[in-house]
Each structure stands twice: as C-alpha cells, then as structure tokens.
Amino acid sequence: MTAVLKVTDLHVYFDTAAHVVRANNGVTLEVHEGESLGIMGESGCGKTVLFLSLLHLQQPGRIVKGSVVLDGRDITRLGESEMERIRGRVVALVPQNQATALNPAYTVRQQLEEALAIRRRGGALGRLVRSGPDVSTDTTEELRRVFEDLGFEAGPILERLLRSYPHQLSGGMRQRVLVAMALLMRPRLLIADEPTTALDRAIKAQSLAALKRVRGALTMLVISHDVEAISTTCDRVAIMYGGRVIESGPCADVLSQPRHPYSQLLLAAQRRTRGEPLATVAAETLNLIDFPRGCPFQPACPRTMPACATVTPSEYATDDAMVACHHYSRGGV
C-alpha cells in the first residue's frame, strides 16, 4: 500500500512567555492511498496543532523533532514558497468554519468553476476513483458528475443551487458545496478538521453523508472528537492523547473493542453522552507544560502499574493495529 502521508515522531512545541507547551509529543501515523483515517481525541489533545503543523500553518508552533512525508517527499522543513504550492495543490481542506470558507460575492457555480480551473492549471495530483480520468473537459458535465457523486440528480434543484450565493444556502448545503469543491480539485489528501462541530443534528447528518460518499474516492484525514463522525467516514482511526497517538487500527475493531484504557474511557463516555455535549475523560489531568515522565495518561488511568509512572510506553504494533500501553508489552491482555 502506498502511503500518501507519513508522519513520524512529530513533536510540536509552543513557546509562551512563561512556558513551553508541548502540544504534539511524537505523533506517528500513515494515511494510505484511497483510505480515510480518523483522528479522534478530546479537546486539547493536539489534533488541530497536528493538522496545522502538517501544512506549516501554525505560526507560533515549532516542529522540534520528527518528519512529515507527503507522497515520498519530506516536507517538514520546506520553505514558505514551496509550502504554498503544496497547500494549494496537494492538500485541500474542509475548514471548520464553513460559513466563511466560501466567497460571498460569487455564485456557487463561479466558485466551483474556479476550483476546476485551479486543477486544470495543474493544481491537482490526485485521481478520482468514481469519476475516472478526465474524459470530458466540459465544465458543466463535470459539475453535474460531482454533484451526482454527492447524491444530487441533475435538474432544476441543482441548477438553482449553482445559481445561488453562499448566504442563500443552508449550513448543510454549504458543507456539500465545499465537499464538491474539494472533489473538483482532486487533492492528494483531503483534511477535514472537525467537519461537523457546531452543526445541528440534521445538518450534521447531511454533512457526514457527503463525506461518506467521498470516502474511497479521495485519501482523507478526518479529525473529530465525535465517534459518529469517525465511524461514518473512516476506515481506520488513530486515537490521540497528550499529543500522541496512543492507539490505532481499523474503525470496526478500535471503536467496538478499544484496548488502551484511555480509549476505553473515551468511547464509554461518548456512548453515555452520544457525543454531545463533548465527553471529557482526562483532559484536565494532563499537563502539557511539565510533561509527565512515563505514560501521560498514568495520573488518570484506572489500570496503572508501577512502570507507567516512569517509562514511556512503546508503540506495540500488530499487522494493522497499534497500542501504546505497558499492558500490551507482551502482546497480552
């Protein structure tokens, strides 16, 4: 399997006036061609810092250690002008604040045509499985095809949507336009950071349905604290705690039978609250400034043992899964 993105031991720190905040503490993960990887964890665990660091967008954050490799190229220390190209061409995002991501002065059709024009100028390296190669260069036809992928039949409703300005659309519709835009640009990797946060239930369902349809067509990284968003849109999931991936594997296994004590608590809390309000398990006990020795989850862990306080757990990996916990040091429990 080809890795589109490979992050190895990434450490990202912030220098504040009084302290150094260790927001990412050795993130390691891979996203393979055509797969959708979910990054899950409660607020403050370092998900957004990770995503912004991949694109060098977190200005005050410092990559202290580790590497980010995109399509075999190490982009960890690229200069700003080269990163600009990477950001525009290779990685598209569905931003958290979808209300402001579209330009209010242009119709949906104009914005989608612009996305298409960017790709045709050589902006995209990706390949869309469902729509296939560029058989037709006809713009209208391509727009129709992308919306068909998203569940819209060609007809008066689609025509009205294309003529609309962003403010005339519902939140769910704007999300789908953004997803359509991403599909038209065919990025190598689509990163969606909290795509469903701040959306009400009905809109969230529409938004997840759109992302679910994209699954398999694009390589995706979906960041969310919400188990429903992850299980609907992802093949594999990586659970983060304290700026590190502490467990990963196929969604079907990790979400139903988590192995790390933190994952177990997080998923149990999510089941109780059904994801809303945000389940908090151990965010307060973590200190990113005086970062603890040993396992960062040790102070809150119900299954702690002596080694946990002194030795940082290694990543114990099987074929398709990983857990960083001393309980699994001999493949056990």
Ligand X SMILES: Nc1ncnc2c1ncn2[C@@H]1O[C@H](COP(=O)(O)OP(=O)(O)O)[C@@H](O)[C@H]1O
Summarize as ranges the residues that interact with Mg ion (CB under 5 A).
47-48
Min separation Cβ 28 and Mg ion, Å: 19
Closest CA to 258 of 277, 281, 278: 281
Min separation Cβ 267 and Mg ion, Å: 19
Angle at 33 between CA 144 and CA 109, to 5 degrees: 20
56 vs 176, beta carbon nearer ligand X = 56
The Cα-based distances of 68 to 6, 89, 104, 255 in angstroms read 6, 17, 34, 27
Query: Among Mg ion, ligand X, none, what does residue 265 contact (CB within 5–8 Å per kind)?
Result: none
Closest CA to 311 of 301, 325, 322: 325
Min separation Cβ 12 and ligand X, Å: 8
Min separation Cβ 324 and Mg ion, Å: 21
Where does this chain bind ligand X (CB under 6 A)?
Answer: 14, 16, 21, 23, 41, 43-49, 60, 288
24 vs 111, beta carbon nearer Mg ion = 24
47 vs 236, beta carbon nearer Mg ion = 47
Min separation Cβ 244 and Mg ion, Å: 16
169 vs 269, beta carbon nearer ligand X = 269
Min separation Cβ 17 and ligand X, Å: 10
Q: Which H helix or E strand runs over 65?
A: strand 61-70
88 vs 299, beta carbon nearer ligand X = 299
Q: Do 211 and 190 form a contact (C-beta atoms < 8 A)?
A: no
166 vs 243, beta carbon nearer ligand X = 243
Find the residue with minimal CB distance to Mg ion.
48
Query: Among ligand X, Mg ion, none, what does residue 23 contact (CB within 5–8 Å per kind)?
Result: ligand X
Q: Distance between CA 205 and CA 72 in Å, rounded? A: 35
Q: Do 283 and 43 form a contact (C-beta atoms < 8 A)?
A: yes
Sequence-ordered alpha helix ranges (H) in the chain: 47-54, 80-85, 98-101, 108-118, 139-149, 156-163, 171-185, 201-214, 227-233, 251-254, 261-273
